[in-house]
Amino acid sequence: MRNFLSRKLFTILSISLILILVIAGCAPAQQPTDNTTLKVKVGASPVPHAEILAFVRDNLAAAAGLEIEIVEFTDYIQPNLALNDGQLDANFFQHLPYLEDFNAERGTDLVSVASVHIEPLGIYSKTISNLNEVPDGAVVIIPNDATNGGRALNLLAANGLITLKENAGFTATVADIATNPKNLDITELEAAQLVRALDDATLAVINGNYALEGGLVPSKDALALESGENNPYVNILAVKKGHENDEAIELLVKLLNSPEVKAFIEEKYAGSVLPAFGN
């Protein structure tokens, strides 16, 4: 009797196991469906970065299965700290030389995953209409961060207002000024303050995003504008190292480098912002 019950129990268990395997084999694999929406949280400067992201969010993202949350920052420090701390999935506000300098100074490990656009640096004035009119002793304000400060000095040098020491390069500082024939009073300020301080200076060398935010049109208002050709200051999408291949990040990169975004940049900014991808 005991052997009979054992054989019966074995038979029942065997049949149950076979049924489980059959059902499992027929069930679909537990994988995301085509309708799955990925989410990404991106920190950005209001103009033009957040505007470009908003165009992607409102016109391209939904069809691609991506939900974009945009968090705006008005400085150049907090968006990298927030990205490094995991508060953001990506940020979009800076160029690669700035990112590399930030990593070296702060010990962060952030990387570029896409080149999107160039914002030519410009020289602006409310008191003169031509650089030939710059008076002796004029106050000139430039960004105080290392990469954009050197960039500003090179733009002043390219327009004959100063000369720089040989091999000063794009990391030049005011200590690298070789000659200053007009005795310019060059003052360094936080980049975000330059537009507001323009009233108190003869010239201001202003980053493109802050110029646009301040109501300036770089392609029309700048007395001199940085060339977009072979420009190393391409604005990038950045992530924390190790997240370069996240599915949502790869999808965002694809959308940011799309023909639709290129056309949007060209139409909306009319030369004040230049796409850095595509033909």
Q: Using 50, 70 and 90 to split pLDDT, how confident is the model at 279?
A: low
Q: Does one domain contain both 188 and 241?
A: no
Report yes or no: 103 and 265 within 8 Å, Cβ to Cβ: no
Q: Does the structure show a pLDDT above 60 at 232?
A: yes
Rounded Cα distance, 94 and 43, in Å? 11
Lowest-pLDDT range, 25-29, 44-48, 181-185? 25-29
The verdict on residue 14 lying in a domain is: no
64 and 196 within one domain: no
Residues 114, 165: one domain? Answer: no
Work out the angle at residue 191's Cα, subtended by the Cα atoms of residues 140 and 201, and round it to the nearest 5 degrees: 25
Confidence at residue 230, expressed as pLDDT on a 0 to 100 scale: 86
User: What residue type is 32 in one-letter code?
Assistant: P
Q: Could you tell me if 149 and 72 lie in one domain?
A: no
In a domain, 1, yes or no: no
**Is 185 a member of any domain?**
yes
Within a domain: 64: yes
Residue 53's pLDDT is: 98
Task: Take residue 184 and report the two structure tokens written for it.
Answer: 């310019």
pLDDT of residue 19: 39
pLDDT of residue 96 exceeding 60, the answer is yes
pLDDT in tens, 177-201: 999 999 999 999 999 999 999 999 9
The reply to whether 114 falls in a domain is yes
CATH code at 164? 3.40.190.10
Higher-pLDDT residue of 20 and 171 is 171
Q: Residue 13: which pLDDT band, with cuts at 50, 70 and 90?
A: very low
pLDDT for 80 beyond 60: yes
Structure confidence by residue, pLDDT tens digits, 57-75: 999 999 999 999 999 999 9
How far is the C-alpha of 164 from the C-alpha of 153, rounded, in Å? 8
Residue 174, domain extent: 122-225
Structure tokens that stand for 213 in this block: 């935010």
Question: Is 141 in a helix, a strand, or coil?
Answer: strand
Q: How far apart are CA 160 and CA 20, in angstroms?
A: 81
Report yes or no on 15 lying in a domain.
no
In a domain, 269, yes or no: yes
Q: How far apart are CA 2 and CA 63, in angstroms?
A: 65
Task: Identify whether 5 is part of a domain.
Answer: no
Looking up tokens 């929406």, which residue turns up? 37
Neighbour-count burial of 181, counting CB atoms closer than 10 A to its CB (0-12 exposed, 13-18 middle, 19+ buried) = exposed
Task: Please return the burial class of 145, using the count of CB atoms within 10 Å of its CB with bins 0-12, 13-18 and 19+.
Answer: buried
Average pLDDT score over the chain: 90
Residue 87: the pLDDT is: 98
The reply to whether 209 and 245 lie within a common domain is no
DSSP for residue 277: S
Position 157 scores a pLDDT of: 97
pTM of the model: 0.82
- Identify which of 249, 240, 246, 270 has the alpha carbon closest to the alpha carbon of residue 102: 240
Residue 48, preceding bond cis, omega within 30 degrees? yes
Q: How far apart, in Å, are the Cα atoms of 104 and each of 55, 109, 231, 243?
A: 33, 9, 22, 20
How many folded domains does the chain comprise?
A: 2
- pLDDT-based confidence at residue 36 (cuts at 50, 70, 90): confident
pLDDT score recorded for residue 164: 98
Give the H/E segment covering residue 67.
Answer: strand 66-72
Q: Average pLDDT in the 97-109 region?
A: 97
